[in-house]
C-alpha cells in the first residue's frame, strides 16, 4: 500500500491511514469528525454536488477518513471523476461520449478493476476523442499536451514523428517504437511525463493550488510504476492538512458543481444529467457566470421539484434560518443577519423564497 511509504504522502501526513496530523493548521486527524463545512467541501470534490439530507444525517460527526474510504469504492463518486476527466479533454456537448464502453468505467474504478491511468487510456481510444481532435496534427498535439504536458512548439520533432506514426509510418515516438494511432496513444499514456502531469493536474484540481514540481515528479514515478497507487494517493490527499487548509480557504465552485448543488440544496434531489449539461453549457459561456446563476436560481425556485417552501411550510422561522445558513453556507448567521433574515421571513409568505434566493446568489455560496 502507498500509505506505508511516507515519501509519497503530503507533508505532515501520517502513514498509518493517510490521515493528517491536525494541530494548529486545523487539519483533521484520523479521528477528525466531519463538520457541515468540511462535509460540504468533500462532497463537492468527491461527488460534484452538495450532500443530500440523508447523507448529511449519516455523515455529520463521523470520521472524515470513513467518508473518503466509502467514496473511493462508490461508483457515484467515480462517475463524477469521469465527468471531470471528460471535461478536461473537452469531450462535452456534441463530443460527449454517450453509450460507449466508458459507461462501465465508474463501476470498474470503484472496484479497483481498472486504474485511473488506464481509464484515461480508454477515453483516448473513444471515437469521440478522435472526432474532437480531427487530423494527425491536432490529434497528436492534444495527446502530447493533455496527457504528457509537453509544449509541442518545443518538441516539433516528436510531433512530426507522432503524426507520421498516426498515419501508419514507423518511428521512435517519445522513446518508443510507434507505427499506428493506437501506438501513439499507448506510448503517451504510459510515458513518465503522463503520470507526473496527471498527478499535478489532479492535485491542482483538489487543492486549488499548484503542485510542487519535485513532489509531483516523486508521485508521478510511483504512479507510473504502479498505476493503482493513485487510489491510495487520493485517500491520502483528502485526509491531509493541506486539504483542510484548502477547505478553510474556500474555492470557487465550477458551474457543473454549482448546478448540481443548487438542485440538492433546493429540492434534496439529484439533478438530471441532461438538465445539468444544459445549464452548465449556458453558464460556461459567460466570463462571469453570476448574472446567469441568479436567473437560474429564480427559475428553479418556481420549478416543480425545487420549488421554494412558502411561509407556513418552514415551521419556526428562527431555527429554519439557522439551519439554512448552516446547510448552505456552512456557518451560523451573525446577529445582524439573523435579525434581518428573521424579519423578512416573518413578513409574508414569500419570505423563505427571498431568503433562499439571497443565500444562493450570495458570493459566499459560490465558493466551498
Sites of contact with other proteins (CB under 8 A)? 88-90, 92-93, 133-138, 141-142, 145-146, 151-154, 163, 274-275, 277-279, 281-282, 284-288, 290-292, 294-295, 298-300, 302-303, 334, 336-337, 339-341, 344, 347, 350, 354-355, 357-358, 362, 364
Task: Tell me the three state secondary structure of residue 49.
Answer: coil
CB of 336 to other proteins, least distance (A): 5
**Residue 248 to residue 76: CA distance in whole angstroms:** 26
Please tell me the distance from the alpha carbon of residue 333 to that of residue 206, in angstroms, as a whole number.
Answer: 28
Residue 179 or 358: the one with the smaller Cβ distance to other proteins is 358
In whole angstroms, how close is the CB of 178 to other proteins at the nearest point? Answer: 17
Nearer to other proteins, 220 or 289 (CB): 289
CB 199 within 8 A of CB 240: no
Smallest gap, in angstroms, from Cβ of residue 314 to other proteins? 16
- The residue among 12 and 250 lying less far from other proteins, judged by its C-beta, is 250
C-alpha torsion sign, points 359, 363, 365, 366: positive
Judged on CB neighbours under 10 Å (0-12, 13-18, 19+), 345 is buried
- Helices 229-238 and 116-124: crossing angle, nearest 10°? 110
**Residue environment code for 7-23, b if the CB has 16+ CB neighbours within 10 A, otherwise e:** ebbbeebbbebbbbbbe
Pairing of strands 171-173, 176-178: antiparallel
The rounded distance, in Å, linking the Cα atoms of 179 and 165 is 4
| Beta-bridge partner residues of 13 | 20
Comparison of 108 and 338: residue with beta carbon closer to other proteins: 338
Shortest distance (Å) from residue 62 CB to other proteins: 30
Task: Read off the C-alpha cell for 6.
Answer: 511516507
Q: What's the min distance (Å) between Cβ of 367 and other proteins?
A: 14
Backbone angles phi, psi at 170, to 5 degrees: -115, 140
Closer of 93 and 107 to other proteins (Cβ) = 93
Q: How far is the CB of 154 from other proteins (least distance, A)?
A: 8
Identify which of residues 179 and 340 has a Cβ nearer to other proteins in the complex: 340
- 8 A C-beta contact, residue 256 and residue 36: no
- In the complex, the smallest distance separating the C-beta of residue 267 from other proteins, rounded to whole angstroms, is 12
| Smallest distance, other proteins to C-beta of residue 155, A | 11
Q: Cβ contacts of residue 255 below 8 Å, gap of 6+?
A: 279, 280, 283, 284, 289
Residue number, 248 or 347, with CB nearest to other proteins: 347
Is 198 or 238 the residue whose CB approaches other proteins more closely? 198
Cα separation, 344 vs 336, whole angstroms: 13
Amino acid at each position: 500500500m502507498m500509505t506505508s511509504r511516507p515519501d509519497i504522502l503530503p507533508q505532515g501526513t501520517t502513514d498509518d491511514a493517510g490521515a493528517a496530523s491536525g494541530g494548529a493548521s486545523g487539519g483533521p486527524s484520523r479521528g477528525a469528525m466531519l463538520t457541515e463545512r468540511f462535509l460540504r467541501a468533500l462532497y463537492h470534490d468527491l461527488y460534484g454536488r452538495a450532500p443530500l439530507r440523508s447523507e448529511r444525517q449519516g455523515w455529520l460527526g463521523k470520521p472524515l477518513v470513513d467518508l473518503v474510504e466509502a467514496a473511493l469504492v462508490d461508483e457515484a463518486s467515480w462517475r463524477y471523476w469521469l465527468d471531470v476527466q471528460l471535461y478536461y479533454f473537452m469531450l462535452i456537448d456534441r463530443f460527449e461520449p454517450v453509450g460507449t464502453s466508458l459507461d462501465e468505467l465508474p463501476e470498474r474504478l470503484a472496484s479497483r478493476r481498472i486504474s485511473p491511468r488506464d481509464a484515461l487510456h480508454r477515453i483516448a481510444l473513444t471515437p469521440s476523442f478522435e472526432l474532437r481532435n480531427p487530423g494527425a496534427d491536432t490529434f497528436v498535439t492534444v495527446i502530447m499536451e493533455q496527457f504528457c504536458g509537453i509544449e509541442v512548439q518545443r518538441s516539433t520533432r516528436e510531433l512530426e514523428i507522432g503524426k507520421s506514426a498516426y498515419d501508419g509510418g514507423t518511428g521512435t515516438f517519445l522513446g518508443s517504437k510507434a507505427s499506428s494511432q493506437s501506438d501513439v496513444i499507448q506510448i503517451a499514456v504510459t510515458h513518465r511525463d503522463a503520470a507526473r502531469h496527471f498527478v499535478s493536474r489532479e492535485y491542482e484540481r483538489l487543492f486549488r493550488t499548484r503542485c510542487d514540481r519535485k513532489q509531483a515528479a516523486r508521485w508521478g514515478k510511483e504512479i507510473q510504476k504502479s498505476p493503482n497507487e493513485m487510489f491510495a494517493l487520493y485517500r491520502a490527499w483528502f485526509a491531509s492538512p493541506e486539504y483542510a487548509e484548502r477547505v478553510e480557504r474556500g474555492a470557487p465552485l465550477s458551474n457543473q458543481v454549482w448546478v448540481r448543488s443548487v438542485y440538492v440544496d433546493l429540492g434534496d434531489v439529484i439533478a438530471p444529467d441532461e438538465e445539468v449539461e444544459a445549464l452548465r453549457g449556458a453558464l460556461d459561456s459567460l466570463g462571469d457566470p453570476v448574472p446567469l446563476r441568479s436567473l437560474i436560481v429564480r427559475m428553479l425556485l418556481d420549478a416543480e421539484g425545487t420549488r421554494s417552501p412558502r411561509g407556513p411550510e418552514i415551521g419556526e422561522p428562527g431555527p429554519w434560518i439557522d439551519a439554512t445558513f448552516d446547510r448552505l453556507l456552512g456557518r451560523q448567521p451573525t446577529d445582524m443577519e439573523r435579525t434581518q433574515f428573521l424579519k423578512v421571513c416573518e413578513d409574508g409568505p414569500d419570505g423563505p423564497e427571498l431568503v433562499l434566493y439571497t443565500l444562493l446568489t450570495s458570493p459566499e455560496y459560490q465558493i466551498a
